[in-house]
Amino acid sequence: ILNVEQSPQSLHVQEGDSTNFTCSFPSSNFYALHWYRWETAKSPEALFVMTLNGDEKKKGRISATLNTKEGYSYLYIKGSQPEDSATYLCAFNYGGSQGNLIFGKGTKLSVKP
Amino acid sequence: ETGVTQTPRHLVMGMTNKKSLKCEQHLGHNAMYWYKQSAKKPLELMFVYNFKEQTENNSVPSRFSPECPNSSHLFLHLHTLQPEDSALYLCASSTHGTPRASGNTIYFGEGSWLTVV
């Protein structure tokens, strides 16, 4: 059974703190790793799609790294802001087709002003 | 606004009712998806349609019946559901759903909250 684990489950930080979360996935049959941000009552919003070992992607204060050989990805948020509060999901593509996405349960981030 | 619109946003139905969820995408995509989000569980794929053809059915009970009349519209017909089917149902789309699409982004709607009583 393919499993995607995210840690921590939840995280509370103060505004201005930098933080990071982990996504662990099987190291075999890797095609892509997706990160999404999901704010309450909104749709999941794509942050990054990563396909190559060693990939690093950046979008503003948010960045992500990928290690396909050991099966993990880190998401970093620099200088967290209250508007960063959301659940961050990762999804592992193991078969190429978009029907082969396995999601983690997410990391719920709360940023206090 | 992601370009994927779902209606209704909230639905309460009895176990003997027949209802439908509707999804429309304005992104020119060729693949559409239904996902289910239950409490304390990860997003779970239900169905995939590529160019209107169903390419994935993730062992979904027959009380859920998808319909894809064209690449822009997707329905989920609901009949004789159980209370445990109460969940958030998300529709999504992407450029393709084929293996060459592994790096493509999937765009989600805001979901339809379903409560079965």
**pLDDT tier for residue B104 given thresholds of 50, 70 and 90:** confident
Contact B108 A41 (CB under 8 A): no
Please write the tens of the pLDDT for every residue from A67-81.
Answer: 999 999 999 999 999
pLDDT of residue A44: 96
pLDDT of residue A94: 84
Partner-chain residue, chosen from A43, A97, A103, that has the shortest CB–CB distance to B2? A43
- Interface probe with B: pick from A23, A34, A43, A94, most Cβ of B within 10 Å: A43
Give the pair of three-digit tokens for residue A94: 């193991």
Please provide the distance, in angstroms rounded to a whole number, between the alpha carbons at the two ends of chain A: 41
Partner-chain residue, chosen from A4, A51, A103, that has the shortest CB–CB distance to B102? A51
Residues in chain B with CB shorter than 8 Å from the CB of A93 are 102
Q: Which is more confidently placed, B62 or A97?
A: B62
pLDDT at A100 exceeding the cut of 80? no
Q: Shortest Cα distance from A33 to chain B (angstroms)?
A: 8
Of the listed ranges A23-37, A49-63, B28-42, B99-113, the least confidently predicted one is B99-113
Q: Shortest Cα distance from A90 to chain B (angstroms)?
A: 10
pLDDT of residue B102: 62
- Concatenated DSSP letters for chain A? ----EEE-SEEEEETT--EEEEEE--SSS--EEEEEEE-TTS--EEEEEE-STT-EEEETTEEEEEETTTTEEEEEESS--GGG-EEEEEEEESSSSGGGEEE---EEEEEE-
> To 5 degrees, how large is the angle CA B27–CA A74–CA B105?
10
Per-residue pLDDT, averaged over B90-112, amounts to 83
Amino acid at A34: H
Please write the tens of the pLDDT for every residue from B54-97.
Answer: 888 888 999 999 999 999 999 999 999 999 999 999 999 998 77
SS3 of B100, please?
A: helix
pLDDT at B99 exceeding the cut of 70? no
Q: Shortest Cα distance from B66 to chain A (angstroms)?
A: 15
Partner-chain residue, chosen from B45, B56, B103, that has the shortest CB–CB distance to A32? B103
pLDDT of residue A98: 66
Partner-chain residue, chosen from A43, A97, A105, that has the shortest CB–CB distance to B98? A97
Residues with Cβ within 8 Å of residue A1, at least 6 apart in sequence:
none
Closest residue by Cα to residue B44 from B65, B58, B55: B58
**pLDDT tier for residue A2 given thresholds of 50, 70 and 90:** confident
**pLDDT tier for residue B100 given thresholds of 50, 70 and 90:** low
Give the pair of three-digit tokens for residue A105: 């349960």
Residue of A nearest to B106 (CA): A46
Per-residue pLDDT, averaged over B13-21, amounts to 95
pLDDT at A15 exceeding the cut of 80? yes
CB B93 within 8 A of CB B35: no
| Cα separation, B8 vs A84, whole angstroms | 28
pLDDT of residue B38: 95
pLDDT at A1 exceeding the cut of 80? no
Per-residue pLDDT, averaged over A89-113, amounts to 89
| Cα separation, B103 vs A76, whole angstroms | 21
Q: Does A104 touch chain B (CB under 8 A)?
A: yes
Residues in chain B with CB shorter than 8 Å from the CB of A91 are 43
Residue of B nearest to A30 (CA): B102
pLDDT at B40 exceeding the cut of 90? no
